[in-house]
Amino acid sequence: MSATAPLGTAGALPWDVLRARARAATAGLPAVPEPGPGVCACCHGPARPGFARCFHCRLHEESAPGLLADVVAPVACAPKGSRLATDLWVYKSDRPGAQVAGGTLLAMLLVFLREEGPGVWQRAGMPAPDCACVVPSGRGRPGPHPLQALLRGCLALPWVPLLARPGADTWGRVLDPGRFRAPRTLTGQAVLLLDDTWVSGGTAQSAAVALKRAGARSVTVVVVGRHLPAVTSGG
């Protein structure tokens, strides 16, 4: 597997068109901040002064030490009410504009994996992913997750399914180490775990725990939109 980006065919659009579409989708949005004072070292969200991690990520670390994702890499920030936040909701629906929204998100993901992927894999301590997985939906939709369906044919990686354990609360946003299970062992595998939106991170980290328990040596979460409160103008 190449260490650059685990991409297969990217459809009929050339890379310069995909790149322009991805940049247009994030124009005017706040840039994803680097971890540091006031920024969570895990999810890149707001953190209280004096704390390296936000409240939710500190809870996750206490609940499942050694089993969390090695790296969380947001593609973009998605403030509430922004066009990107709307696209992340609409693409999974049958509403008008769903196909256009999906195409935008696909362009963002492909460009990020191609251009930023090598640095992300390096931070996770892996040369490149061996397989891909999507954080399961809490809605229990039949068939593949909409994000996996969107990426069909675009990733040159085998897909790993995750199953909800019987009786597990798939709607909760808190970390539940027993929420999911992998149906096969992943001994020594480096897993690319994809999600569309990160709010608290509980569902994504629950998926990471399941992958680590199945034997994955590293898990990297790439999330399209890091949810943020609505951006208000100062007065």
Please state, in angstroms and rounded to a whole number, the distance separating the CA atoms of residues 11 and 14: 8
Domains held by the chain: number: 1
In a domain, 2, yes or no: no
In a domain, 218, yes or no: yes
Q: Where are the alpha helices (DSSP H) in the chain?
A: 15-26, 55-63, 83-90, 98-115, 117-123, 146-150, 202-213
CATH code of the domain in which 119 resides? 3.40.50
In a domain, 47, yes or no: no
pTM value > 0.75: yes
Domain that holds residue 140: 15-31+66-228
**pLDDT one digit per residue (tens) for the chain, 235 residues:** 344 456 655 555 788 999 999 999 999 999 999 999 999 999 999 999 999 999 999 999 999 999 999 999 999 999 999 999 999 999 999 899 999 999 999 999 999 999 999 999 999 998 899 999 999 876 656 668 899 999 988 998 999 999 988 766 655 678 999 999 999 999 999 999 999 999 999 999 999 999 999 999 999 999 999 999 876 554 4
In a domain, 139, yes or no: yes
Please state, in angstroms and rounded to a whole number, the distance separating the CA atoms of residues 235 and 184: 55
Q: Cα angle vertex 155, ends 77, 64, to 5°?
A: 55
In a domain, 220, yes or no: yes
In a domain, 50, yes or no: no
- Backbone torsion region of residue 159, taken as left when φ is above 0, otherwise alpha when ψ lies between -120 and 50, otherwise beta: beta
Q: Cα angle vertex 182, ends 177, 187, to 5°?
A: 100
In a domain, 167, yes or no: yes
In a domain, 37, yes or no: no
